[in-house]
């Protein structure tokens, strides 16, 4: 949700900022802007444009001014429409500012400080710029301290003062921001993807501490002015991982990276064929000491949680709930000291998920998070972290992160079943061997993807699509529907196959695509009957079964088989089929696959 970048040093700031904004554009692409300090005695330079970073880049083409200090922003609009004026940076008096987050009390601040009538934009951010300027009398730290005392909400601010020519000041609450210093200068960004071309060593800016970026140093101080030494982190992937590497879209590249991501997530956690989390520092007591599990997440991560529940609950025989984070936090959840809260998040920054985590801890629960981004807020605030190793996920539509979230839940489920005496060692070994074999099934789907494109050609013509399945298949279909709707803009719904006839079947017309998942043996016959019901009403049926399943005559138009013999593990290849179906549908419709409308990658607003 909004990408921010700042640089000061001996490199050309414009080049660094535009490159950084391109890397961060997946965080928001409603508008983009930069501001640079062009040297002693000269004016600030401000260019901001509605539209993607490419539009800003075009506007900067003729620029002759060279600067070594500047800030840049790519926006996902919250307060105020998408236009040049509402784009960041915002200038007020001596202050130039960019912001990621939401200032909740900006209306009150406008009244309290008499800003009404003098603001030029409709944004909450401009109010923060005005407030900083109001408090600024030559001491940036005093102005920042006084400003954040007045503000409620979430923020990551990068601030330049007109009379301080080579420095950038940063402060944050909740919204993420990282910083780094190296020979070339000092950098700040919303996430490490923008820093990777320059360095792998960085630190997460601690909340409520003020970071000063100068050409030759980065320093951190707390609100009392005492120096702070931040904890340095190191990225374990390289710059190629954040590039398309010959693929037309990040999403397609990331779909193809799934076998490797699965290997990286599963293999280092196996010891003698059994799951072993000693390197993660997760003791078995976490698994044996609870009497229920509450999974909390948003979007795709929550749908991974739905699969986790359908897998784990029948084995452990304890209640497992799956909770939408944005609801959980306001609904007095049934969470106590005996609850294991499993938080799932790719970015580790989703604000609703973070708030749910904090609430769970207040209730005394132990929190184990499954997170992809090292050092993210959710990772830092959890009692235990299980890192997925997907590498950077750039496409807004989550694919490889979902895949490794699933793998993590399978590993956790297995270890927990052992710790609670539900799996013998032999059963656990068998489970793990089936899990690792699923990786080759994923690869086989990727190697034979051409037919999925043919199916997509039919789906691309539709206005609505339905995904149906029972049991685990229903859990898989939820993610299939989300993937299709978010990147193809086709209305898609997932239904428990037996539920369709209680209303939704009224929407089935001649040629309505129904993607039917029937990979679970014990309910295969029931699902087939439900498929007949839609077939009889003219649906175009794309059927997914296990290899070798008996397919009744004329039950479907297109059939895909997944080469996984055991029902519990079909999700891995099924997920790839559904991801590719969504990908090709979007691409055939000529849409922006990696940056679908209205969305952003990391949702750091409520
Ligand atoms: O970073 P998170 O996993 O916490 O993000 C949660 C959702 O915003 C995310 O999964 C979203 O639904 C995906 N972009 C959908 O593909």
Give the ligand 1 atom nearest the CA of 397: 16
| Residue to mutate, 398, 408, 478, 489, ligand 1, most ligand atoms under 8 Å from C-beta | 398
Residue of 49, 309, 595, 601 marked catalytic: 601
Give the ligand 1 atom nearest the CA of 603: 8
Q: What is the pLDDT of residue 605?
A: 66
Residue in the structure block whose two tokens are 């076998």: 259
CB neighbour class for 198 (10 Å; exposed up to 12, middle 13-18, buried from 19): buried
Residue 90 is given by DSSP the state E
Percentage of the chain with pLDDT > 90? 86
2 catalytic? Reply is: yes
The pLDDT of 244-263, averaged and rounded, is 95
Please tell me which residue, 241 or 426, carries the higher pLDDT value: 426
Q: Whose C-alpha lies nearest to ligand 1, atom 7?
A: 299
346-372 per-position pLDDT tens digit? 999 999 999 999 999 999 999 999 999
Q: What is the pLDDT of residue 565?
A: 85
For the domain made up of 241-444, give the CATH fold: Rossmann fold (3.40.50)
Examine the pLDDT at 271 and tell me if it is beyond 70.
Answer: yes
- Contact, 347 vs 601, CB < 8 A? yes
| Residue closest to 247 by CA, chosen among 549, 596, 580 | 580
Examine the pLDDT at 470 and tell me if it is beyond 90.
Answer: yes
Of 61-75, 141-155, 281-295, 582-596, the poorest mean pLDDT is in 61-75
How far does the centroid of ligand 1 lie from the alpha carbon of residue 60, in Å? 33
Beta strands in 482-598 (DSSP E): 491-496, 513-518, 540-546, 558-562
What are the domain boundaries of the chain? 3-235, 241-444, 448-596
State in Å, rounded, how far the first CA of the chain is from the last one: 11
| Residue closest to 168 by CA, chosen among 150, 186, 191 | 186
Query: Averaging pLDDT over each range in 63-67, 161-165, 277-281, which range is the top one?
Result: 277-281
Task: Quote the CA–CA distance of 437 and 431 in Å, as a whole number.
Answer: 10
561-579 per-position pLDDT tens digit? 999 889 999 999 999 999 9
Examine the pLDDT at 41 and tell me if it is beyond 70.
Answer: no
Q: Whose C-alpha lies nearest to ligand 1, atom 12?
A: 299
In degrees, rounded to 5, the angle at the alpha carbon of residue 392 between the alpha carbons of residues 391 and 397 is 115
Tally of residues, the chain: 606
Give the ligand 1 atom nearest the CA of 353: 4
pLDDT category, 237, cuts 50, 70, 90?
Answer: confident
pLDDT category, 63, cuts 50, 70, 90?
Answer: confident
Q: Whose C-alpha lies nearest to ligand 1, atom 14?
A: 397
Dihedrals φ, ψ of 361, to 5°? -65, -40
Q: What is the pLDDT of residue 42?
A: 60
Q: What is the pLDDT of residue 193?
A: 87
Q: What is the pLDDT of residue 503?
A: 86
Q: What is the pLDDT of residue 331?
A: 82
Which protein residues touch ligand 1 with a CB less than 6 Å away? 298-301, 345-347, 350, 353, 396-398, 486, 602-603
The pLDDT of 444-459, averaged and rounded, is 95
Give the ligand 1 atom nearest the CA of 299: 12
pLDDT category, 244, cuts 50, 70, 90?
Answer: confident
Residue of 2, 170, 414, 556 marked catalytic: 2
The pLDDT of 420-447, averaged and rounded, is 97
| Residue to mutate, 27, 297, 300, 356, ligand 1, most ligand atoms under 8 Å from C-beta | 300
Dihedrals φ, ψ of 189, to 5°? -160, 165
Task: Quote the CA–CA distance of 383 and 245 in Å, as a whole number.
Answer: 37
Q: Do domains 241-444 and 448-596 have the same CATH topology?
A: yes
Q: In what order do the strands lie in the sheet with 201-204?
A: 44-50, 31-37, 69-75, 3-9, 185-189, 178-182, 201-204, 232-234
pLDDT category, 65, cuts 50, 70, 90?
Answer: confident
Q: What is the pLDDT of residue 66?
A: 82
| Residue to mutate, 297, 298, 594, 606, ligand 1, most ligand atoms under 8 Å from C-beta | 298
Q: What is the pLDDT of residue 462?
A: 96
Superfamily of domain 448-596: Glucose-6-phosphate isomerase like protein; domain 1 (3.40.50.10490)
Q: What is the pLDDT of residue 299?
A: 97
Task: Quote the CA–CA distance of 429 and 101 in Å, as a whole number.
Answer: 46
222-232 per-position pLDDT tens digit? 999 999 999 99
Average pLDDT, the chain: 94
**CATH tag for 3-235 (out of 3.30.1390.20, 3.90.1150.10, 3.30.460.20, 3.60.20.10):** 3.60.20.10
The pLDDT of 425-437, averaged and rounded, is 97
105-131 per-position pLDDT tens digit? 999 999 999 999 899 999 999 999 999
Residue 188 is given by DSSP the state E
How far does the centroid of ligand 1 lie from the alpha carbon of residue 298, in Å? 6
Task: Quote the CA–CA distance of 310 and 328 in Å, as a whole number.
Answer: 20
CB atoms within 10 A of CB 209: 17
400 catalytic? Reply is: no
Q: What is the pLDDT of residue 532?
A: 95
Secondary structure of residue 456 in the 3-state scheme: helix
How far does the centroid of ligand 1 lie from the alpha carbon of residue 287, in Å? 26
pLDDT category, 434, cuts 50, 70, 90?
Answer: very high
Q: What is the pLDDT of residue 21?
A: 96
Dihedrals φ, ψ of 208, to 5°? 55, 30
Give the ligand 1 atom nearest the CA of 298: 6
The pLDDT of 487-496, averaged and rounded, is 96
pLDDT category, 39, cuts 50, 70, 90?
Answer: low
The pLDDT of 49-78, averaged and rounded, is 91
502-553 per-position pLDDT tens digit? 988 889 999 999 999 999 999 999 999 999 999 999 999 999 999 999 999 9
Q: What is the pLDDT of residue 40?
A: 57
Q: Whose C-alpha lies nearest to ligand 1, atom 4?
A: 345
């Amino acid at each position: 949700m909004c990408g921010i970048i700042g640089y000061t040093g001996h490199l050309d700031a414009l080049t660094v900022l535009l490159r950084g904004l391109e890397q961060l554009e997946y965080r928001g692409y409603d508008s983009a802007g930069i501001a640079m300090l062009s040297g002693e005695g000269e004016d600030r330079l401000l260019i901001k444009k509605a539209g993607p970073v490419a539009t800003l880049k075009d506007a900067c083409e003729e620029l002759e001014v060279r600067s070594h200090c500047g800030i840049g922003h790519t926006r996902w609009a919250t307060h105020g429409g998408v236009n040049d004026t509402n784009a960041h940076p915002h200038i007020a008096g001596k202050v130039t500012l960019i912001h990621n987050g939401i200032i909740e009390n900006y209306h009150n601040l406008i009244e309290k400080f008499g800003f009404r009538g003098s603001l030029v934009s409709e944004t909450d951010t401009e109010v923060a710029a005005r407030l900083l300027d109001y408090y600024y009398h030559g001491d940036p730290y005093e102005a920042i301290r006084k400003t954040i005392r007045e503000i409620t909400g979430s923020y990551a601010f990068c601030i330049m003062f007109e009379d301080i020519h080579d420095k950038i000041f940063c402060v944050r609450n909740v919204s993420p921001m990282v910083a780094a210093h190296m020979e070339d200068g000092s950098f700040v960004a919303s996430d490490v993807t923008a820093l990777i071309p320059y360095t792998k060593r960085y630190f997460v800016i601690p909340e409520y501490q003020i970071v000063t970026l100068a050409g030759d140093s980065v320093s951190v101080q707390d609100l009392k002015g005492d120096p702070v030494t931040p904890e340095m982190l190191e990225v374990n992937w390289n710059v190629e991982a954040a590039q398309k590497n010959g693929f037309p879209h990040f999403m397609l590249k990331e779909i193809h990276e799934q076998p490797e991501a699965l290997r990286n997530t599963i293999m280092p956690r196996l010891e003698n064929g059994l799951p072993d989390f000693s390197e993660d520092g997760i003791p078995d007591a976490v698994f044996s000491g609870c009497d229920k599990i509450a999974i909390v997440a948003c979007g795709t991560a929550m749908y991974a949680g739905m699969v986790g529940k359908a897998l784990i609950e029948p084995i452990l025989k304890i209640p497992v709930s799956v909770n939408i984070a944005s609801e959980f936090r306001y609904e007095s959840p049934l969470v106590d000291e005996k609850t294991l809260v499993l938080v799932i998040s790719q970015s580790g920054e989703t604000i609703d998920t973070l708030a749910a985590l904090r609430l769970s801890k207040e209730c005394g629960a132990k929190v184990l998070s499954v997170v992809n981004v090292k050092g993210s807020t959710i990772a830092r605030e959890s009692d235990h972290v299980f890192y997925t190793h997907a590498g950077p996920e750039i496409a807004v539509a989550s694919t490889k992160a979902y895949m490794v979230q699933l793998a993590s839940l399978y590993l956790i489920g297995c270890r927990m079943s052992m710790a609670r005496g539900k799996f013998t060692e032999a059963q656990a070994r068998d489970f793990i061997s089936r899990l690792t074999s699923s990786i080759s099934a994923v690869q086989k789907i990727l190697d034979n993807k051409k037919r999925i494109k043919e199916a997509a050609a039919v789906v691309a013509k539709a206005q609505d699509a339905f995904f149906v399945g029972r049991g685990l298949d229903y859990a898989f279909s939820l993610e299939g529907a989300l993937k299709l709707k978010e990147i193809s803009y086709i209305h898609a719904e997932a239904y428990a196959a037996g539920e369709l006839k209680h209303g939704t079947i009224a929407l089935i017309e001649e040629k309505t695509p129904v993607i039917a998942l029937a990979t679970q043996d014990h309910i295969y016959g029931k699902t087939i009957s439900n498929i007949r019901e839609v077939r009889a009403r003219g649906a175009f049926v794309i059927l997914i079964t296990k290899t070798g399943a008996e397919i009744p005559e004329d039950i479907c138009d297109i059939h895909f088989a997944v080469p996984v013999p055991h029902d519990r593990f079909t999700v891995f290849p099924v997920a790839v089929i559904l991801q590719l179906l969504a990908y090709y549908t979007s691409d055939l419709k000529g849409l922006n696959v990696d940056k679908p409308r209205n969305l952003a990658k990391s949702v750091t607003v409520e």
